[in-house]
Structure 1
Amino acid sequence: MSLRSRLTAGLALAIAAATLAAPPASAAPAQLLSDPVYDYATAIREAVYIDTPVDNDGDGVADKVVADIIRPSEAATAGVKVPVIMDASPYYQCCGRGNESEKKAYATDGTVTKFPLYYDNYFVPRGYAFIAADLPGTSKSKGCEDVGGAEEIAGAKAVIDWLNGRAVGRTAAGATVTASWSTGKVGMIGKSWDGTIANGVAATGVDGLVTIVPISAISSWYDYNRVNGLVNPKVSSVPSLHSLVNARPAGTCTSVSNALTTGADASTGNYNSFWAARNFVTNASRVRASVFVVHGQNDLNVQGVHFGQWWSALAANNVPRKLWLSQEGHVDPFDSRRSVWVDTLHRWFDYWLLGIDNGIMSEPMADVERAADVWQTSTQWPPTGTSTANYVLQGTGDPGTLAVGTGSGSLSLTDSASLTEANAVSSPTTARTGRKVYQTAVLTSDLRISGTPTITLRVKSSKSTTTLSARLVDYGTATRVNYRSSGEGISTLTSQTCWGSSSSTDDACYKDTAKTVASAAYQVLSRGWMDGAHRDSLTSPANMSTSTYYTITWKLRPIDQIIPAGHRLGLVLTLSDAEFVSSHSTGATVTVDQTACVLSLPIAPVGALAGLSAAGPITVYAPESYAGTGTRFQ
């Protein structure tokens, strides 16, 4: 079949998909997908310099962002308009994208000859354009990167405005250029900071942004750098992220960098106007795009609070949405569930950007990984039938009891600044200074926690403030994804698979990965922290009186985890936590009134476990490797 014949057939499929006759009852349903009918090697590659409404580098000229574009030439020749998939990123030159840290490569005329990741290779032949946009102040764009601020969001939004005729774009030579080839429909995708940009742009309500796919993405920059009045030392600060990606000449962005340092107010954990401007959750009512949220439940970098609060806000505003939750850390699903991911993403974009009624929105809302490469679906998330169960604290022995009923007794907990998480949660029947473990009886049936746990403690502190730390733990030996390994749950193999078409300068092949697992006696399922002085307000801290009991409530990280029958659910309380929050120890001793303490858990029906499916290679590590560390922002 000629290329033109294949082109016609592919377009016909996209247009007429909804009218295809139903297959016989004995046949499998037709898979309605866009076909790779366009030639990737001859695709049009161009760079457009787009005006933003901001001039934060102070040179008197509107800042410009660079949109590097690749689109099918045959569609342009035939006058067929195409939608756009866009990954707006600060990382295209400083750090690279994906598991293999790919960077853009350029021809002598400044156009991109190699795009990072597989989106261009896979989707351009299927009738999409792909745009890799450099955020302001990074790579070839002007302006100064303000890390989640107005400049960053306006820069990415300007690309969508240009695609819809609302912004000015120019060639490198300065000639005005329009996007007459575009349908105006845009889907944004990206992992980590890139996905964060997608959240932020969606929260502007910009017309033309039809869908976003935020992967391991931030929904509020305060909740990335701060935790309930405490500073998160495990992540990069806003000023250091600016320095990492800044590509402007020395001195150009000094004023912006200084403003980031001042605004972030690193000496405190306070919430202020700087952080409010970087909180996308508060603007969820403006979101007009569908949202496909993807997150690792064990992501210690962009922690689960980001998907949880974003998902809840989207649900409250009836935003069409879908969810994948994995057992890995800060890992792209392309590197953890590759074939299923590419197929699902393909159908998602076909539905939202090409209008192919392939049924994806009638499928289960959530996919949740239960163990390495073992998944379960839920029609809704949190699942229908989820209800709150309140567990109380009882007993002063080691361990205490976690049960449904009435709390009893009191105890003193003295801060131990050197206590690591491993020592805090391991060997629960051993008395250790600085921690208190509570456990349920051995479970007689599986227990599914699906949503956001909340803890309430009634405490009196010997100091004017103290950190309060809580962890939910699954006690019971099992083989689990080792999210503390250097790959955060995956290892990279030497073999490759290809996803899309290749050219002489840009191949579509990527190294395969394997799940990294280890047998361990426990797993920390969820964590949460609170600074006592910020108990009532994140903006106006108030010291604790040493003679007063305070009832303090805070949220732990949202999860969807099953604690199997035969295991115990544990709650571990400590004070300071040098790994996850600072300031560190105040040396406090805290009296805990167990009669007024409650752990509230969202308990869901376990579901039909017969629907589980498993596939993929697994790398097994010895149990001692389970305590390894390693996080990355990208």
Structure 2
Amino acid sequence: MKFNQFSRCQTTITTQVSELESLGLTCLTDYPTKDTTALWLELLTEIIPTKTTIAAKHAALQNLLATSKNDVLSFCQSETVDACAFYNVALQLLHFEVDDDFSLKQPLAFMQKTNLPYHEKINTQTELISAFYDLLNTPTKTGQVFLDYLATQGFFNKFYGQITQPLIFNGKTQPVFDTSQLIYEVVYIQSDLDSDLDGKCDLLKAEIIRPKETESNLKVPVLYTASPYNQGTNDKLGEKLTHDVNVPLTPKKPTKKSYEDICAPTFNLPNAQKYSANKITTQASETFARELSYTLNDYFLARGFAVVYAAGIGTRGSDGLRTCGSKEETLSTIAIIEWLTGKRQAFTTKEATTEIKAWWCNGNVAMTGKSYLGTLATAAATTGVSGLKTIISEAAISNWYDYYRDGGLVIAPGGFPGEDADVLCGECFSRKKDAADFYKIKETYKKQLAQITIQQDRASGNYNAFWDARNYLKDIANIKCDVVMVHGLNDWNVKVRNVYNLYQALQDLPVKSKLILHQGQHIYINNMRSIDFSSMMNLWLTNKLYEVANDADEILPDVLVQDNAVAETWHQFESWQTPDAKLQTLHLGLDELTTTKVVGQVSFNDQLPQETFAKYSKDYHTWQNELLTAPELNTSRLVFSSQPLTNDQYLTGTPKLKLKVASSKNYGMLSFMLVDLGTAKRLGAVPKLLGRKTLGLGYRWREDDLVEFALDKPSDFKLISKGHINLQNRTNLWQNDELKANEFYDLNVTLQPIFYHLPKGRRLALIVYSTDMEMTVRGNQDISYALDLEACELSFFSSKLS
């Protein structure tokens, strides 16, 4: 068990006293005149919100031991508070158990071991107050900040109905807003789009949740989540549209093309009819029962933020069609921000007769969400839309080609063989769920979907105008808002290249950016025990949206990385690289990665026996697990491994391969895995559930499960990175190069970016193969590949750890 906090603000004793008093702790009014032990007892008494009388509060304190012989009450009658007694009680308040978790004789040793903050000396009133202030900001056993836990017990109920502005403590907003009184309403925002070609501007449904206090002139910022899944998905249609991947790789006709030949044309808005209301109101006429929420947003609803969910064009309640990442979807996304900041009209119904404004919004907006949700946040940021102050983009796509393609090949997002842009369009087109609405545009929808299927070009896998229109990296220079990026280093759905390229591009812009890399796959991390993610985002959003000067830019790490070799451990860096990283180059030998060149050739054949092929086609997990060990795969891949490491190393950046390769056909593809080789306990692939609905997000409000990554049973290897390339895309992604059978060609391949702790005694291994059962087409063709070893090398950045 280890706790990592990155959101704590350093404050003066004057500020601490003032902020503690703002919480309603009345005992501090004349604290210099009080005995330190008596003051401690008063403070403890004031943080038991479930007890309403002094007698009940004292009874609760009698259940807390200050020493092995005295509970708090008896201790305060005869002893003087010191650090040992203070933290014995504090740890119990934080839900750690005496004897099972810590010893009453050495509480500070436990706090040091678990990385909990503590004060070594507590003798004076100011030392006590400072320690108590920090205690309120300390994680409980679940990782939840103690003050947030107290909120779930009703500590802030005294503020309900009395709020005229948010309450700030340690630079963060506190849950003083009554979530039982939240206002739920729906509006329809007018866009400039006509994506369903009916001649009228698309109206976009938005679901709003805001504090009741906004009815009393409090203006609040907005957390906006653009989720195409928010109004439902067409899962059966998605399955029907999914492409067969058991098809052969085919040769491409050689071409000579420049980027100018395939770049996306300029997008022009349609000449569509706008709606014009004949009256205006401040009250919505439509509500909703329950949104498809994100628990981080729920956390902030108790803290004076409004939340808006909008699914966008082509979704239930809105007009238009889904277009999978195109300019239309980006403009659909920012239309909601433009309404929130007073620059666009919205109506109370789709009849559009009554206008309604976001009169309750202070004009500051942040976007939140993972995957497609974070992708649309990234897209919105690249427009430079006014009012968007920051985005928290989690597992977000920055270039849709890097999601569905790689190196001139059709590459599935991990776990979804056969998915493509058209499949996602169909799945998210929730207008289909309202039959009468759908039938009006059924034929238009069919034609548009067929067009997307053609334009995405599964035949070649090349970068073209369709993908260029969905490449947000081209517009990075337009970003004006600050950016938080969160991504899993084991995310093979939205692969790491998406966040790496975004991060690198942002370094040249005059905006603040923060990067958090965790060991998860495609997950949220706001419910992980080992990191105070929600508090970090509280510090950030309090600064960006409420404009509180809390030093968030300086306090939050620029790059934060979860260690893959040690559980519950996070490291801070200045960039996507360790400070002493050096470029290392290893050559490919007969079966090893070596520091010297080797002369010779090695080869493999991609075709498997039909029974073996059928087995792995049905279960790509088994294929990946057996790739290094199954005898039937020995002839279908090459393995090159290093000697065991003599020191722990960090491998960072983008591993690169230089190869000289020949195919027995006039076409071919290669795939690559970089792996950590050696039997050892490693972090599990998914976080372990520590408690269901353990994390309360406010008083009698919503809850979240508590999770954390833990070391799993021993495994023989761990995937670090992957890469793929079509041998006919040696020059670039849009040109088809000629490939002659059995002729050697030079090849450069960049693997997915990494930040990996490779422990001493392990080996680094490179696997070279062709068909990737999870991601590529699976033709099971009789193709042999040969490598000229003298011209083959692997390079990457590494740094030694002592």
Q: TM-score, normalised by structure 1?
A: 0.83
Of 243, 246, 263, which residue of structure 1 is paired with 2:429?
A: 246
1:188 paired residue number: 367
Pairing of 1:173-572 with structure 2 (within 5 A): 174=352, 175-234=354-413, 235=416, 236-248=419-431, 249-250=438-439, 251=442, 253-337=445-529, 340-362=532-554, 363-371=556-564, 372-394=567-589, 396=590, 400-417=591-608, 418=613, 420-426=623-629, 432-483=634-685, 489-492=686-689, 495-501=692-698, 507-515=701-709, 517-572=712-767
Measure how far apart 1:508 and its partner are.
0.8
Question: Given the superposition, is the C-alpha separation of residues 378 and 221 from structure 1 closer, same or farther in structure 2, using an over 3 Å criterion?
Answer: same
Relative to structure 1, is the Cα distance of residues 43 and 170 closer, same or farther in structure 2, using a 3 angstrom cutoff? same
1:597 alignment partner in structure 2 = 792
Contact 1:51 / 1:62 at 8 angstroms: preserved in 2?
yes
1:124 aligns with 2:332: no
**Compared CA separation, residues 59 and 337, structure 1 to 2 (3 A):** farther
Partners of 2:778 and 2:348 lie apart in 1 by 50
3-state SS in 2 of match to 1:533:
coil
**Offset from partner CA, 1:168-199 (integer Å, 9 cap, x none):** 11112631112232222111011111111111
Structure 1 residues 399-436: Cα deviation after superposition (integer angstroms, max 9, x where no partner): x22123434332223224548333333489x9910211
Alpha carbons of 1:447 and 1:265: their partners in 2 closer, same or farther (altered >3 Å)?
Answer: same
State the shift of 1:318 in Å. Answer: 4.8
Deviation digits for residues 140-175 of structure 1 (CA, Å, limit 9, x no counterpart): 111111110122111110011111222111112631
Structure 1 vs Structure 2: percent identity of aligned residues?
30
Amino acid at match of 2:423: S
Relative to structure 1, the CA distance from residue 304 to residue 271 in structure 2 (aligned partners, 3 Å threshold; closer, same or farther) is same
**For the aligned residues, what is the CA RMSD?**
2.7
Asked if 1:82 is matched to 2:82, the reply is: no
Q: CA deviation at 1:212?
A: 0.8
Q: 1:519, 1:231 → 2: CA distance?
A: 34
Q: CA deviation at 1:335?
A: 4.4
Question: 2: distance between equivalents of 1:32 and 1:90?
Answer: 33
TM-score, length of structure 2 as denominator length:
0.66
What whole-Å deviation, never above 9, does each CA across 1:194-223 have from its counterpart, x for those lacking one? 111111111111111111111111111111
Q: In 2, Cα distance between the equivalents of 1:318 and 1:572? A: 41
8 Å CA contact 2:324–2:425 kept in 1: the answer is yes
**Does the CA-based 8 Å contact 1:221-1:279 persist in structure 2?**
yes
Residue identity matched to 2:672: A
1:581 maps to 776
Counterpart secondary structure, 1:41: helix
Return the structure number with greater strand share: 1
Equivalent residues of 1:466, 1:586 under 8 A apart: no
Q: Cα distance, 1:586 vs. partner?
A: 4.3
Structure 2 letter corresponding to 1:421: Q
Cα distance change of structure 1 residues 9 and 136 upon mapping to structure 2, 3 Å threshold: farther
Residues 491 and 515 of structure 1 are in contact (CA less than 8 Å); yes or no, is this contact kept in structure 2? yes
Cα 1:592/1:319, change in 2 over 3 Å:
farther
From 300, 315, 323, give the equivalent of 1:138.
Answer: 315
The question of whether the paired residues in 1 share the 8 Å contact of 2:370 and 2:394 is answered with: yes
Of residues 60, 72, 77 in structure 1, which corresponds to 2:211? Answer: 72
- Structure 2 Cα separation of the partners of residues 593 and 191 of structure 1: 43
Q: Residue 461 of structure 2: SS of its match in structure 1?
A: coil
Contact residue 416 and residue 575 of structure 1 kept, 8 A:
no
Helix, strand or coil at the partner of 1:144: coil
Aligned length: 564
Q: Displacement of 1:512 after TM fit?
A: 3.2
- Return the alpha-carbon distance in structure 2 between the equivalents of residues 560 and 540 of structure 1: 31
Structure 1 gaps of 5+ residues are 1-5, 11-22, 97-107, 484-488, 608-634
Amino acid in the other structure paired with 1:325: L
Return the alpha-carbon distance in structure 2 between the equivalents of residues 518 and 327 of structure 1: 17
Q: Structure 1 residues 569 and 304 mapped into 2: Cα distance closer, same or farther (>3 Å)?
A: same
User: What is the DSSP-based 3-state SS (H/G/I as helix, E as strand, rest coil) of the residue aligned with 2:587?
Assistant: strand
User: For 1:169 and 1:581, how far apart are their aligned partners in 2?
Assistant: 45
2:312 is the alignment partner of 1:165: no
Which of 290, 293, 298 is the aligned partner of 1:114? 290
**Kept in 2: contact 1:322–1:366 (CA 8 A):** yes
Measured after TM superposition, the shift of residue 132 of structure 1 is: 0.8
User: CA–CA distance in 2 between the matches of 1:373 and 1:183?
Assistant: 38
Whole-angstrom CA distance in 2 between matches of 1:352 and 1:436 = 51
Maintained 8 Å contact 2:286/2:348: no
Give the Cα–Cα distance (whole angstroms) in 2 for the partners of residues 272 and 577 of structure 1: 23
- The amino acid across from 1:241 in the alignment is L
Distance change in 2, residues 1:377/1:478 (3 Å): farther
C-alpha contact 2:195 2:313 (8 A) present in aligned 1: no
Counterpart secondary structure, 1:373: coil
Deviations 1:531-582 (A, max 9, x none): 1011112112123122532111111111111110011111111122232212
Q: Aligned pair 1:63/2:239, yes or no?
A: no
Which one of the candidate residues 174, 186, 192 is aligned to 1:53? 192
CA displacement, residues 338-365 of structure 1 (integer Å, 9 cap, x when unaligned): 8622112211211221222333322322
Residue 426 to residue 446, structure 1, CA distance change in 2 (3 Å): farther
CA shift digits 1:40-59 (9 cap, x unpaired): 22223221211111101111
**Amino acid of the residue matched to residue 48 of structure 1?**
V
Is the contact between residue 47 and residue 68 of structure 1 (CA under 8 Å) also seen in structure 2? yes
1:44 aligns with 2:183: yes
Counterpart CA distance in 2 for 1:337 and 1:259 is 46
Gap change, CA 1:54 and 1:383, over 3 Å in 2: same
- CA spacing shift, 1:186–1:470, aligned 2, 3 Å: same
Task: Write the distance in 1 (CA, Å) between the matches of 2:181 and 2:535.
Answer: 25
The SS at the match of 1:545 is coil
- Cα 1:455–1:124 change in 2 (3 A) is same
**Stretch of structure 1 that moved more, 515-524 or 215-224:** 515-524
The one-letter amino acid of 2:370's match is K
CA distance in 1, matches of 2:212, 2:529: 32
**SS of 1:197's equivalent?**
helix
Distance 1:316 1:461 in 2: 41
Cα offset for 1:84? Answer: 0.9
Residue 277 of structure 1: CA displacement?
0.6
CA distance in 2, matches of 1:401, 1:367: 33
SS of residue matched to 1:364 = coil
Q: Tell me, yes or no, if the aligned pair for 1:45 and 1:112 is still in contact at 8 Å.
A: yes
* Equivalent AA in structure 1 for residue 794 of structure 2: L
Instruction: State the AA in 2 paired with 1:245.
Output: C
